[in-house]
Amino acid sequence: MRRRHQLLVSPSCCLSGLVLLLLALSARAQRQAHTDPSEVAALNAIFRRWGLRASAAWNISGEPCSGAATDDTDIDDDPNFNPAIKCDCSYNGSTVCHITRMKVYALDVAGQIPAELQNLTYLANLNLGQNYLTGSLPAFLGKLTRLQYLSFGVNALTGVVPRELGNLKNLISLYIDSCGLSGELPSTFSKLKGLRVLWASDNEFIRKIPDYIGSLLNLTDLRLHGNNFDGPIPASFSNLVNLANLRIGDFTGEVSSLAFVVNMTSLNTLVLRNSRISDNLASVDFSKFVGLNYLDLSFNSITGKVSPTLLNLNPLNFLFLGSNNLSGSLPDMISPSLTTIDLSYNMLSGRYPSWVNMNNLHVNLVWNNFGIDNSNNSILPSGLNCLQRDTPCLIGSPSHSSFAVDSGGKRPIRGSDNSIYEPDDASLQGASYYVTNSTRWGLSNIGKFVDSPNGSYIIDTSRRFTNTLDSELFQTARMSPSSLRYYGIGLKNGMYKVVLQFAEIFFPGDQTWKSVGKRIFNIYIQGDLKETDFDIKKQTNGKSYTVVERQYIVEVTNNFLDIHLFWAGKGTCCIPNQGFYGPLISAISVSSYGSNGEGDPGPQKNSSTNRTGLVVGVVVSVAVLGFLALAGVFVWR
Ligand SMILES: *[C@@H]1O[C@H](CO)[C@@H](O)[C@H](O)[C@H]1NC(C)=O
Ligand SMILES: *[C@@H]1O[C@H](CO)[C@@H](O)[C@H](O)[C@H]1NC(C)=O
Ligand SMILES: *[C@@H]1O[C@H](CO)[C@@H](O)[C@H](O)[C@H]1NC(C)=O
Ligand SMILES: *[C@@H]1O[C@H](CO)[C@@H](O)[C@H](O)[C@H]1NC(C)=O
Ligand SMILES: *[C@@H]1O[C@H](CO)[C@@H](O)[C@H](O)[C@H]1NC(C)=O
Ligand SMILES: *[C@@H]1O[C@H](CO)[C@@H](O)[C@H](O)[C@H]1NC(C)=O
Ligand SMILES: *[C@@H]1O[C@H](CO)[C@@H](O)[C@H](O)[C@H]1NC(C)=O
Ligand SMILES: *[C@@H]1O[C@H](CO)[C@@H](O)[C@H](O)[C@H]1NC(C)=O
Ligand SMILES: *[C@@H]1O[C@H](CO)[C@@H](O)[C@H](O)[C@H]1NC(C)=O
């Protein structure tokens, strides 16, 4: 999580600058300076518990505040200096050193947070991010009141955030994202007035986002998405006018308006995705947001028009307004800074402006009301006429009753089920779609991998998979940071069996910080929620490279099928690298169900037990390979 180190620069550089200055001033005396003995004992005890050793270059002959800990070795960006500490040796007439910084970052440390940590009372900077720390966050952390920077991001903790953390009045940056915490954010956090960075995304936090967050006026970077917060977003947020980066979302409950945003004109990134916002887009005058680079208001109920002002905002680069209720036609001009425009799933209509087929612009206009005929069907990537609300191209003339796709695959593969899995290797970007030449199926992809210059929408592995006869199908997969939809086009109406196949190919299954990596998403078919917080590895008891299959029986009524994989903000952001999150899928097959029989188990048998779901998931494990015939119990409506 490189960004953390960058963010850390402002508080920590002053600190280490100060340390260096003091060191220089006391260069001669330093020879006599010794680390406070209780801190030495605590440090050695902590490292012993975690099975860590300092490098020889740092812990010269057992004196921790020596070597790299006191010279000008950079603690942030030097991977060889990890674990690491820095000391301030100016105490007691430059005879005593105290440990001021500790970094144990992404080192696969497994275990609890040791009690000895409370003896390192001079710590100003503690980075324990990206490990496998378990147990709860201890209340004694609240006694380390010199802390300015504190990170537990990406760990396997449990329990609530202790109230005592509110005593850390000098805190500037707090990272508790993706670390397993739950409960409410404690009211004592209202005392953290100096806080500039708060990352608390992807935990199990509940209730409303507390009002006091709106009184932490120095906040510049706030991330709270992927929790279980109830709406609305507190009105007090309108005070946070110093924010440069705001990412919230994934609310349930009451709707919010956009009013709290109007004065946040310092923003360069604003993400209010999936936030139950119901308002008119015109209620914010975006012309005042002169530094806005990234705007994501997708998956809300925002009405109004796409204004020329918004589309002409420079330096706006990424604009996600999909899945709202925007109407009207598109403006004639756009800012040259725009590279990605998602307007899918709105009520837009009218004619194409000339900019839609500009080079290097990715624009997704799927599922709107554009009337598209032969005269303009070729302006954008072909097939958009098949992906509009009222003009699915093959309505009334369905041509087939099955299709299969090898997501990310480069060539056709015959599966053990005898389907031909078609290749799906089009290089898509943050707002893209395509429809195959045969107009049998298509897909739409939305989203940009956060903080990742090279986040990839197709991933692959050369590993072989043992619990499948179709190993090759799983060596490629598609991944999306927001929303990935596969469409069946021109299908004969009737019942279909939809088989979705997955395998986690990025997070290893062992107990390392990499295994803390979590990919969690939701699955909708024909608009019905089929899986909430679907986690591939949970289905395999933590094993990666293991095939998971889900089957659903669904009805096709308009010659059209929509399979939607949706990221609801959960899961880690950055393991093993930045930008490895969001839905992943390896293969899809769809075939008509029932009338042709084809060895499917009789569906009606259990019809009385469950009328809510059309379906049933089946986890394939080695033991039940070749299982399709005995594939569990289908629940029928
Ligand atoms: C440093 O000085 C303070 C008071 O001047 C004293 O309490 C403390 O024990 C001294 N520390 C060491 C390690 O000598
Ligand atoms: C520092 O070195 C001493 C002597 O080799 C050793 O006992 C101690 O455990 C080391 N401390 C750390 C943190 O590695
Ligand atoms: C902290 O240091 C004190 C001595 O200053 C010692 O008595 C105590 O046992 C230490 N506590 C831990 C948890 O290491
Ligand atoms: C907020 O930031 C300003 C400017 O950096 C600083 O002067 C002020 O002390 C900070 N407020 C708190 C409560 O830390
Ligand atoms: C935005 O700022 C203006 C001018 O300072 C103020 O009148 C208005 O109340 C503010 N709006 C909100 C929602 O805070
Ligand atoms: C969309 O907006 C129209 C008014 O423009 C309104 O009638 C309709 O209910 C809205 N639909 C949704 C789903 O919000
Ligand atoms: C496509 O062309 C038709 C006929 O010229 C026109 O009515 C329609 O508005 C055009 N559609 C778009 C999206 O420009
Ligand atoms: C689809 O059609 C385009 C243009 O007609 C052609 O260039 C391309 O090779 C075709 N793709 C496939 C997979 O047949
Ligand atoms: C992305 O870039 C980072 C740093 O340059 C590199 O470590 C990582 O492997 C790259 N990821 C991919 C998928 O190429």
Comparing 103-112, 138-147, 537-546, the range with the smallest average pLDDT is 537-546
Query: How many Å apart are CA 190 and CA 176, to the nearest integer?
Result: 16
Task: Evaluate whether the domain defined by 277-381 bears CATH number 3.40.47.10.
Answer: no
What's the mean pLDDT in 621-634?
Answer: 29
**How high is the pLDDT of residue 571?**
85
Nearest atom of ligand 5 to the alpha carbon of 235: 13
Tell me the sheet residues that pair with 231. 253
Q: Is the CB of 375 under 6 A from ligand 7?
A: yes
Question: 137 to each of 109, 132, 176, 288, 627, how far by Cα in Å?
Answer: 15, 13, 10, 41, 45
E strands present in 32-124: 34-35, 84-90, 96-103, 110-111
Q: What six digits make up the tokens of 125?
A: 């900077």
pLDDT tens-digit map of 229-282: 998 999 999 999 999 999 999 999 999 999 999 999 999 999 999 999 999 999
Ligand lying closest to the C-alpha of residue 58: 2
Q: How far apart are the first and last CA of the chain?
A: 47
Q: Is the CB of 115 under 6 A from ligand 3?
A: yes
Residue 41 CA to ligand 9 centre (angstroms): 39
Output the average pLDDT for the chain: 86
Residue 195 CA to ligand 4 centre (angstroms): 9
Res. 602: pLDDT tops 90 = no
Tell me the sheet residues that pair with 125. 101, 149
Closest by Cα among 547, 407, 549, 585 to 468: 547
Nearest atom of ligand 7 to the alpha carbon of 375: 2
Pairing of strands 560-566, 521-525: antiparallel
Which helix (H) or strand (E) segment holds residue 303: the answer is strand 301-304
Taking the domains of the chain in order of start, what are their residue ranges?
277-381, 402-623
Query: How many Å apart are CA 563 and CA 554, to the nearest integer?
Result: 10
pLDDT band for 509, please (50, 70, 90 cuts).
low
Contact of 356 with 431, CB cutoff 8 Å: no
Residue nearest to atom 11 of ligand 9 (CA): 454
Res. 537: pLDDT tops 50 = yes
Q: Is the CB of 36 under 6 A from ligand 1?
A: yes
**How high is the pLDDT of residue 514?**
65
CATH class of the region 402-623? mainly beta
What's the mean pLDDT in 599-626?
Answer: 31
**How high is the pLDDT of residue 274?**
96
pLDDT band for 6, please (50, 70, 90 cuts).
very low
Ligand lying closest to the C-alpha of residue 98: 1
* Residue with tokens 């001079």, as numbered in its chain: 122
**How high is the pLDDT of residue 366?**
96
602 CB contacts (<8 Å, ≥6 apart)?
none
Comparing 128-142, 164-178, 366-380, the range with the smallest average pLDDT is 366-380
**How high is the pLDDT of residue 515?**
66
Residue 268 CA to ligand 4 centre (angstroms): 21
pLDDT tens-digit map of 555-597: 998 899 999 999 998 888 777 777 778 899 999 999 999 764 4
Residue 510 CA to ligand 2 centre (angstroms): 28
Residue 510 CA to ligand 4 centre (angstroms): 43
Residue 580 CA to ligand 9 centre (angstroms): 10
Single-letter amino acid, residue 607: S
Q: Is the CB of 212 under 6 A from ligand 7?
A: no
Res. 336: pLDDT tops 90 = yes
Res. 616: pLDDT tops 50 = no
**How high is the pLDDT of residue 636?**
27
Residue nearest to atom 10 of ligand 6 (CA): 325
The model's pTM: 0.86
Q: Is the CB of 314 under 6 A from ligand 1?
A: no
Single-letter amino acid, residue 253: G
Q: Is the CB of 48 under 6 A from ligand 3?
A: no
Number of Cβ within 10 Å of residue 351's Cβ equals 12
Q: What is the DSSP string of 417-485?
A: TS-EEEEE-----SEEEEE-TT-SEEEEEE---TT-TT--SEEE-----SS-S-GGGGSEEEE-SSEEE
Contact of 611 with 637, CB cutoff 8 Å: yes
Q: What is the DSSP string of 88-111?
A: EEEHHHHTEEEEEEEE--SS--EE
Q: Is the CB of 36 under 6 A from ligand 3?
A: no
Nearest atom of ligand 3 to the alpha carbon of 37: 5
What's the mean pLDDT in 386-392?
Answer: 85
Among 96, 99, 122, say which to mutate for ligand 1: greatest number of ligand atoms within 8 Å of CB: 96
